[in-house]
Amino acid sequence: MAPTSAKSNDAKAAARAAAQARIRAASARHRSPEDWARAIAAGDRDALSQGITLVESRSAQDRPLAEALLAAALALPQSTVASARIGITGIPGVGKSTFIERLGQTLIAAGHRVAVLAVDPTSQRSHGSLLGDKTRMEHLVREPDAFVRPSPASDALGGVNRATSEAMVLCELAGFDRILVETVGVGQSETAVRQMTDIFMLLLISGAGDDLQGIKRGIMEMADLVVINKADGPLVHAAEQTAKECTGALHLMPPHPHGEPVEVLLASGLEGHGLDAVIAQLARLQAAFEASGWWAAQRTDQLQQRFDALVRDRVLEVALGRDGAQSLWQRLQTEVLHRQISPYAAARIFVNNVDSSK
């Protein structure tokens, strides 16, 4: 094994050990999931951080405690804080981190408590993640009413960590009423973040291409609000032109199911221009969604979708736990990769094998 690879593996093992140590320490200090949940609700930031580490854990031995903690969190009255979950996406270079930091500071100045769940890209080769948002948001992390949590995207759809929805539950329990979820924004489907948030914001910039920077039509159709970022200095005129083009493109798309028009606003995360208008539009959308019932309907759909996803995950886990299932799974994967069998036939063989081994 190459020295660099060995060091990388050692670092990963150390990180995993540290995470497990934090979970064990939290478990030891809080004698029950109920006590742990109450500590989070009382504003214990260590308890919140350790709780998110727990729900992000892929270890099967951590799952019972994680589920008990989430159940305890949902049972507490504090978990019903009137929060808004806001998904924010955009291509790399659009200035998401700078925009989110300044937006968070502006929200705090307006009396809100802000949690940022910033999902960093994970390498498909090394499975490593930059996890640099606390560095990029160095001013926001100093705010007493802010909580910034970087998490690896792992293999979750749309660059959203698989435990992001659970992390939001814990942040809401801690009293954060504005949850900002930053996605990777690398052209993947953003359906995942749309399905777990109340309002979906798309950031664009001027001068990144004539086809609206390659943004997929589907992402445009999901956006509740579009913000042209970096509208400052000599870029203001170009940003105004991009806003006009974007508005024209939105008029050609079918109306949103919630019936509200999608506004296109100009802002500067660097200088702070236009953020009050963005916050005002977020408030208008929330009021309109609540009045029409769309807000409550989305939350209900999110619970159903989470239930469905958890069932699928558990069913696959149980199936892989049967005698010989792991070896069959790996063999079929290899055959699919080498085009020795179609993925459809491989899936049928695996499912039939599991079904016949009852």
Question: Looking at residue 159, what DSSP letter applies?
Answer: G
Token readout for 346 is 């491989």
Together in a domain, 224 and 166: yes
Report the DSSP beta bridge partners of residue 116: 148, 180
Query: Are residues 246 and 107 part of one domain?
Result: yes
Two tokens at 186? 């690398």
Judge if 107 and 250 occupy the same domain.
yes
Give the tens place of pLDDT for each residue, 21-67: 666 655 555 569 999 999 999 999 999 999 999 988 878 788 889 99
- On whether residue 43 sits in a domain, the answer given is yes
Q: Does residue 68 share a domain with residue 34?
A: yes
HSE on the CB side for 331, CA within 13 Å? 7
- Residue 279 maps to a domain: yes
Q: Do 68 and 187 share a domain, yes or no? A: no
The verdict on residue 296 lying in a domain is no
The domain boundary residue, chosen from 44, 59, 77: 77
Is residue 47 within 8 A of residue 35, CB to CB? The reply is no
Q: 227 and 305 share a domain?
A: no
Q: What number of H helices and E strands is found in the chain?
A: 14, 7
Model pLDDT for residues 155-188, shown as the tens digit of each residue: 444 445 567 889 999 999 999 999 999 886 655 5
CA 165 to CA 356: how far, in whole Å?
35
Compute the distance between CA of residue 143 and CA of residue 160 in angstroms, rounded to an integer.
25
Are 110 and 169 members of one domain?
yes
What CATH number did the domain enclosing 117 receive? 3.40.50.300
Mean pLDDT, range 289-296, rounded to an integer? 95
Same domain for 67 and 166: no
Residue 68 CA to residue 34 CA, distance in Å, equals: 8
Higher pLDDT, 249 or 358: 249
CATH number at residue 305: 1.10.287
* Domains: count for the chain: 3
Quick one: 23 and 168 in the same domain? no
Which has the minimum average pLDDT: 98-112, 244-258, 290-304, 339-353?
A: 244-258
Q: Which of 291, 321, 337 is the last residue of a domain?
A: 291
3-class secondary-structure state, position 117: strand
Tokens 């309907």 locate to 297
**Residue 68 resides in a domain:** yes
- Alpha carbon separation from 182 to 96, 98, 245, 308, 339 (Å, rounded): 7, 11, 25, 24, 37
For 151, the domain range is 81-291
Residues 102 and 173 both lie in one domain: yes
